[in-house]
Structure 1
Amino acid sequence: MTTHSPVVVRELSGDQLVIVRRETLGKHTTKIVGTDDAIQGVARTYPEAFLARTIVVCEGASEVGLLRGVDRYYASQGKPSAYASATAFVDAGGRSPEHILRKAGVFSKWGFSTLAFLDSDVAIDDWDVDIAEAEGVEVHTWEGKLALEEALFTLLPDCAIDALITLAIELNSEDLVAGALEAVSSGTLTLAYVLSLVGGDAAYSDDERAILGKAAKLTTKDTKTAPGRKGWFKSITKMERVGADVLGPNLADSDVKLKDVMQALFAHAHG
């Protein structure tokens, strides 16, 4: 018998894992994890989730990376780390909102404090949200129809947009960034023009922010050109840089819609 071992959680099957919780008056309850393929897959990929108190079920790897990066920034500023507060960020695999919310609901039923963090560019059925919230899940998404990259370019301050553009070139190349801008704007917004704004006093217009957000998320499935395109920040490692180097330092000056989501996702760690 062992407790709090991610190796054991990863190696055993779901019907061999039992969640034990202390209730009132010293009593305990037990629940078998079960053998559902999706949940057992999560147990093996993210075994730390079953050893946490709070689970943030993220739409995909980009959201996981962003939150890891923001958490790293908070820790560098002397705030408690979400990980130190027994929190796990779980990748739901980038599937439908219904799938993400159902997965969050399962964790909540098992007794975990559970939050769901997902984009709003794909319509989220109010019925699915109501079911998840009835199961105890806190659902957090963007106001309007925005993917993560669009939300960042829309809601961050101008100096942070400069930093995002600079980071996009560093993590990819000028050619890739320029090509995405060309594809999205049909040549009306060039990288040369965007770079002329970086570090200057001019504010980015709403239209420019919208184009930058669409270009940042552009992948091969969105366009028949540039095979192999994966977006500017679409990986845990790249989005972790965005969270630590751009979002974290600029969150206080961001739009309240962005601040509200981030503060809610880290409330369990920071009180």
Structure 2
Amino acid sequence: MAKIRHIKIENFRAIKSFEWWPNPGVNCLIGPGDVGKSTVINAIDLCLGPRRTKEFADSDFHKLNTEEPILIEITVSDLADTLKNFDKYDLFLRGYNPEEKKIEDEPGANLEPALTIVLTVGSDLDPQWSLFSERATAAGAERALAWGDRVLLAGTRIDAANNFHLSWRKGSVLDRLSDEKPDTAEKIAEAKRAAREAFSGIADDQLDETLEKVEEIAEALGVSLAIELQALLNAHSISLSGGTIAVHDANGVPLSRLGLGSTRLLVAGLLNEAQDGSDLVLVDELEHGLEPHRIIRFLGVLGAKKEDSSKQAFFTSHSPIVLRELNADQLFVLASGHDGHKALSAAVDEHSQGAVRSQPEAFLAKRVLVCEGASEVGLIRGLELDRTSNGKKSLFGSGLSLINAGGCSRLYERSPTLQALGYECASFRDDDVQPDPDQEELFEVFGGTVFKWQAGQKIEAAIVHGLPATQLLPFVELAVKLHGEELTDQHLKGNSAGALSVATFRADPDGTGISPDNRTQLADACSGKSNPWFKTIGAMESLSESIIAPALDDCDDAFKQVIIEIQAWATDG
């Protein structure tokens, strides 16, 4: 069946301009929120959907600019015979070159016959659907798709309102599932009459006062009533038409009352078996209403795992599960820039698939901070907790994603893929061990920002030397809480030749007697290879939220500056 080969959108909702040559199979749009992913899905639905009209508003125009018309232009090929009928569409048939991904205005050898459908909306808000070709425009010819042909092109949209597809209506999945068509006209008429007779007289007792008032008013106005009034059903007003017959369970409950996820999954399964109609599927927020295991099943039913699937699917998603299940070449990052929107294939290099599988959350964010290890991740998470509890701008709400690189040597392993796709990237590392200098230089050349502690410092030393003296006792007490007093005391004594202990800090709560050398000994004690105090995400998160963030204004300037710069970068200042 017909496949979308080219999409062009102008001045529609979140999108000023956009062009895309999608895959013939699965196309999953990803990226940060509010970039316009749903706009693309809605544009396809509006342009190809079998509708004669649609209400538009000023808010459908990009930035409310009604001076420039909305344009949605979709070119399809792999056409059914009726769509290649020269008697109907001769001037409008075009050619698609699959090798070069190019549209020729006339059909030709080695070109797939194609049609370009255009939806335009001007300031009068009146939508116009038409076919387009350059030679038809030159000849002054105008034409729209015949209604039956529009139905052939229309896709199936699977969303929150799936009742349509769970009843026998023209164009529903059930209607397309088999050749069996219910002959309902006569039976529906009989059902209306039976309902009227069954209702007869039931409401008289409940509505007798109202009926008497009607009689009185009618008499006063000189309206002649032949007989005593009754409250009866008006058979002509009983709405029994398309969609009247729906699938119910054994207890008579319609399947449309199933949960959202279940109805979506069921409609997808029915679509998989449908005998005719378009193989185009549209799903906005694919994961909506589905648990992880059913997301995987949903993707399978829609043909995402089949290389030879006849379906062409357009999804949007914010789910890491979806990203892990799809191939990188099925994913497209929707990016917005000064030159408009672009859909960038996630398959930009040989590392793309590994990056998507290992760090899917990064592909759903606006900017990515690659952390050397769990400690750096925990530090940022603790800062976030403090910020949100104090009404400051959220780091994660600003579009930040954290990657735990798992060591300095792997710090820039995934960065080239993310940078090639336009993500803002930064790294956050210690300075006691150095990464590959060529990798870090290339990272910075492509716009990456490097955050690191002072020369030779690792994170524990940076924190211990950066904290104000009054926070050294709380620092030690948190270690006692997390690891017990005996282990904490053992580490302190072992790294200071017995000069430091838990008691030392308790006896000096203001930290006035703690020398720079003592701080170095404390840093060594908390970062030893055997049971380090704050090497896990949870432990460092607690330290960051309860001690570092509240005391940040009083911290050492060099330490404080690193924290301030990271937060400013993550929140656009």
Separation (CA, whole Å) in 1 of partners of 2:494 and 2:434:
25
* Secondary structure of 1:185 counterpart: coil
Q: How far off is 1:42 after superposition?
A: 5.0
Give the structure-1-normalised TM-score: 0.87
1:240-271 CA distances to partner (integer Å, 9 max, x unpaired)?
10111011101111111111111111113162
Alignment pair present for 1:234 and 2:535: yes
* 8 A Cα contact 2:469 2:510, kept in partner: no
Q: How far off is 1:45 after superposition?
A: 4.7
1:3 to 314, 317, 330: 317
Alignment pair present for 1:138 and 2:426: no
* 8 A Cα contact 1:80 1:270, kept in partner: no
Distance 1:8 1:123, change over 3 A: same
Q: How far off is 1:203 after superposition?
A: 4.4
Within a 5 Å distance, the mapping from 1:57-206 to structure 2 comes to 57-96=370-409, 99-124=410-435, 126-197=437-508, 199-200=509-510, 202-206=512-516
The number of aligned residues is 258
Separation (CA, whole Å) in 2 of partners of 1:95 and 1:13:
28
* Secondary structure of 1:249 counterpart: coil
Q: How far off is 1:36 after superposition?
A: 5.1
* 8 A Cα contact 2:415 2:425, kept in partner: yes
Give the fraction of aligned pairs with identical amino acids, expressed as a percent. 33
Alignment pair present for 1:212 and 2:522: yes
Separation (CA, whole Å) in 2 of partners of 1:129 and 1:35:
19
1:51-89 CA distances to partner (integer Å, 9 max, x unpaired)?
111111000111101100011101111101111111111
Which letter does structure 1 place at the counterpart of 2:400?
A: T
Q: How far off is 1:234 after superposition?
A: 1.2
* 8 A Cα contact 1:23 1:29, kept in partner: no
Q: How far off is 1:201 after superposition?
A: 5.6
Separation (CA, whole Å) in 2 of partners of 1:145 and 1:25:
43
Give the structure-2-normalised TM-score: 0.43
1:192-246 CA distances to partner (integer Å, 9 max, x unpaired)?
223322x236242100111111111111xxxxxxxxx330111111111011101
RMSD: 2.1
* 8 A Cα contact 1:61 1:94, kept in partner: no
Distance 1:201 1:143, change over 3 A: closer
* 8 A Cα contact 1:184 1:214, kept in partner: yes
* 8 A Cα contact 2:472 2:511, kept in partner: no
Which letter does structure 1 place at the counterpart of 2:337?
A: E
* Secondary structure of 1:101 counterpart: coil
What is the aligned partner in structure 1 of residue 53 from structure 2?
none
Unaligned stretches of 5+ in structure 2?
A: 1-314
2:553 to 246, 249, 252: 252
* Secondary structure of 2:541 counterpart: helix
* 8 A Cα contact 2:470 2:511, kept in partner: no
What is the aligned partner in structure 2 of residue 223 from structure 1?
none
Which letter does structure 2 place at the counterpart of 1:85?
A: S
Separation (CA, whole Å) in 2 of partners of 1:3 and 1:119:
35
Distance 1:166 1:24, change over 3 A: same
Separation (CA, whole Å) in 2 of partners of 1:230 and 1:49:
30
Which letter does structure 2 place at the counterpart of 1:233?
A: F
Separation (CA, whole Å) in 2 of partners of 1:186 and 1:175:
16
What is the aligned partner in structure 1 of residue 368 from structure 2?
55
Which letter does structure 2 place at the counterpart of 1:108?
A: Q
Separation (CA, whole Å) in 1 of partners of 2:560 and 2:507:
28
Q: How far off is 1:94 after superposition?
A: 1.9
* Secondary structure of 1:144 counterpart: coil
Distance 1:26 1:57, change over 3 A: same
Alignment pair present for 1:43 and 2:356: yes
* Secondary structure of 2:456 counterpart: coil
Q: How far off is 1:49 after superposition?
A: 1.3
Distance 1:48 1:117, change over 3 A: same
Distance 1:30 1:41, change over 3 A: closer
Q: Which has the higher helix share?
A: 1
Comparing 130-139 with 182-191, greater Cα deviation is found at 182-191
Unaligned stretches of 5+ in structure 1?
A: 220-228
What is the aligned partner in structure 1 of residue 334 from structure 2?
20
Separation (CA, whole Å) in 2 of partners of 1:165 and 1:200:
13
* 8 A Cα contact 1:34 1:40, kept in partner: no
Distance 1:26 1:241, change over 3 A: same
Q: Which has the higher strand share?
A: 2
What is the aligned partner in structure 2 of residue 269 from structure 1?
571
Separation (CA, whole Å) in 2 of partners of 1:175 and 1:41:
43
Distance 1:106 1:206, change over 3 A: farther
Return the index of the structure with the highest Cα Rg. 2
Separation (CA, whole Å) in 2 of partners of 1:262 and 1:57:
15
Distance 1:182 1:8, change over 3 A: same
Distance 1:101 1:182, change over 3 A: same
What is the aligned partner in structure 1 of residue 291 from structure 2?
none
Separation (CA, whole Å) in 1 of partners of 2:534 and 2:522:
12
